């Protein structure tokens, strides 16, 4: 009888931990910039306003049971990330403490708001979930197709590119599908948006622009390879890489090519952009910094292996991860290495900055939380 009671108690504790509830999480800072989705915003600019000073000091290292996914989000002092064994974690960024864990069964991606997490699962009976972070409950879920991309939060809507040839918009409140657009090949690219336009790449080699109100095609542009990277949008230009080794700058309205820059390898990741520069990484182990208006090469930095994350711009620095196990911080004007940190595993998780914190992860199952130097 005692053994049964112990087993019941263990099961109760296990199930009780397998949820996220932020009701008792206190947060007092105002006027902050959150990182609620991949790329930081619907344009996927990978640009964080403000500054973080070097050197970075490792504050916490959090261990999981499996490798971390490629995206970390931060909202109101809470870090969210998924793991390859099918879990969504929430951590307190200031204490490095776990606030909760939700079982997703399979590897997923996530985007968050103040009170909600939207979980997109790679495959399964249901693949898109709306989870209330304060009530610890799933508010809707359904099969949106197999998803290997990142959710796009767009006002009161969520946009998903499904692996098997379609992109869909859903109402955030009800989960009702508003429209769908079908392609001729698979989609690995995550969608990006600006104004009434949504952009994404396709394995058929095309970059697509859709009307966000109805999902109708506005234009499409053909590259010479597969387009699995995510678009980056700045003002009137869409930047996107292809497996044909090239980064393209396309006119936002017409899809006309403004310029094309050829790297030494394939391009699979989103870019980082500010007012004057566009930065992209390639499988040739190089990070390229270009004049975003002309496509002129300003500098390139060579890592020890493939550039395996999207870069991140913060003030006068650019951060990026590589399969050589290192995160790097570079001078944005020259490409000079300013700081690096060696993990014990390959890096596939895009770096994130929130306030004075830098967050990264590696394939040896660790999340790293660094704090910037004091002024």
Query: CA-CA-CA-CA torsion for 80, 47, 57, 300, nearest 10 degrees?
Result: 120
Contact 123, 94 (CB under 8 A): no
pLDDT digit string (tens) for the chain, length 375 residues:
455 444 444 444 444 447 899 988 876 566 789 999 999 999 999 999 999 999 999 999 999 999 999 999 999 999 999 999 999 999 999 999 999 999 998 889 999 999 999 999 988 999 999 999 999 999 999 999 999 999 999 999 999 999 999 999 999 999 999 999 999 999 999 999 999 999 999 999 999 999 999 999 999 999 999 999 999 999 999 999 999 999 999 999 999 999 999 999 999 999 999 999 999 999 999 999 999 999 999 999 999 999 999 999 999 999 999 999 999 999 999 999 999 999 999 999 999 999 999 999 999 999 999 999 987
Q: Which helix (H) or strand (E) holds 169?
A: strand 166-171
Give the pair of three-digit tokens for residue 374.
């004091």
Task: Report d(CA 194, CA 211) in Å as an integer.
Answer: 10
Residue 227 is given by DSSP the state -
Instruction: Count the helices and strands in the chain (H runs, E runs).
Output: 1, 33
pTM score, whole prediction: 0.94
Q: Which residue has the tokens 């590589």?
A: 322
Domain residue limits at 162? 2-371
What residues contact residue 81 under an 8 Å CB cut-off, 6+ apart?
68, 69, 71, 72, 73, 88, 89, 91, 110, 349, 361, 367
Q: Give the model confidence (pLDDT) of 266-279 as tens digits.
A: 999 999 999 999 99
Contact 327, 321 (CB under 8 A): yes
Task: Report d(CA 353, CA 373) in Å as an integer.
Answer: 13
CATH of the domain at 116: 2.130.10.10
Q: What is the CA radius of gyration of the chain?
A: 20
**At 13, phi and psi to the nearest 5?**
-65, -45
Task: Report d(CA 317, CA 49) in Å as an integer.
Answer: 11
Task: Report d(CA 300, CA 281) in Å as an integer.
Answer: 9
Contact 272, 279 (CB under 8 A): yes
What residues contact residue 231 under an 8 Å CB cut-off, 6+ apart?
44, 189, 191, 192, 199, 200, 201, 207, 238, 239, 240, 270
Closest by alpha carbon to 16, among 96, 122, 75, 103? Answer: 103
End-to-end CA distance of the chain: give it in Å, rounded.
61
Task: Report d(CA 323, CA 283) in Å as an integer.
Answer: 10
Beta carbons within 10 angstroms of residue 6's beta carbon = 10
How many separate domains does the chain show?
A: 1
Q: Give the model confidence (pLDDT) of 131-146 as tens digits.
A: 999 999 999 999 999 9
Beta carbons within 10 angstroms of residue 244's beta carbon = 17
Task: Report d(CA 212, CA 89) in Å as an integer.
Answer: 31
């Amino acid at each position: 009888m005692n053994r049964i009671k112990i087993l019941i108690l263990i099961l109760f504790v296990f199930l009780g931990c397998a949820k996220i509830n932020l009701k008792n999480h206190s947060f007092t800072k105002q006027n902050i910039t959150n990182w609620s989705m991949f790329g930081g915003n619907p344009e996927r600019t990978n640009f964080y306003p403000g500054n973080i000073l070097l050197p970075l000091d490792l504050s916490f290292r959090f261990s999981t049971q499996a490798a971390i996914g490629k995206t970390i989000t931060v909202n109101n002092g809470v870090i969210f990330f998924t793991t390859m064994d099918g879990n969504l974690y929430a951590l307190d960024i200031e204490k490095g403490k776990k606030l909760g864990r939700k079982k997703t069964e399979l590897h997923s991606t996530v985007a968050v708001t103040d009170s909600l997490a939207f979980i997109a699962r790679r495959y399964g009976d249901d693949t898109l979930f709306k989870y209330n972070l304060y009530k610890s409950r799933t508010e809707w879920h359904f099969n949106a197709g197999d998803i290997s991309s990142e959710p796009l939060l767009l006002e009161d809507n969520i946009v998903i590119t499904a692996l098997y040839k379609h992109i869909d918009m859903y109402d955030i409140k009800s989960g009702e599908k508003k429209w769908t657009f079908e392609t001729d090949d698979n989609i690995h690219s995550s969608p990006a948006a600006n104004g009434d336009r949504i952009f994404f790449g396709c394995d058929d080699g095309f970059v697509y622009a859709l009307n966000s109100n109805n999902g109708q095609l506005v234009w499409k542009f053909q590259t010479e390879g597969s387009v699995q990277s995510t678009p980056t949008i700045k003002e009137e230009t869409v930047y996107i890489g292809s497996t044909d080794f090239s980064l393209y700058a396309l006119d936002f309205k017409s899809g006309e090519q403004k310029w094309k820059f050829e790297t030494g390898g394939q391009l699979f990741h989103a870019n980082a952009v500010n007012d004057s520069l566009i930065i992209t990484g390639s499988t040739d182990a190089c990070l390229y910094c270009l004049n975003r208006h002309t496509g002129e090469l300003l500098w390139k930095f060579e890592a020890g292996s493939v550039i395996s994350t999207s870069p991140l711009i913060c003030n006068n620095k650019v951060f990026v991860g590589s399969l050589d196990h290192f995160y790097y911080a570079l001078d944005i004007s020259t490409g000079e290495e300013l700081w690096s940190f060696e993990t014990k595993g390959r890096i596939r998780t895009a770096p994130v900055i929130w306030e004075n914190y830098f967050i990264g992860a590696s394939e040896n199952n660790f999340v790293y939380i660094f704090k910037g130097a004091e002024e």
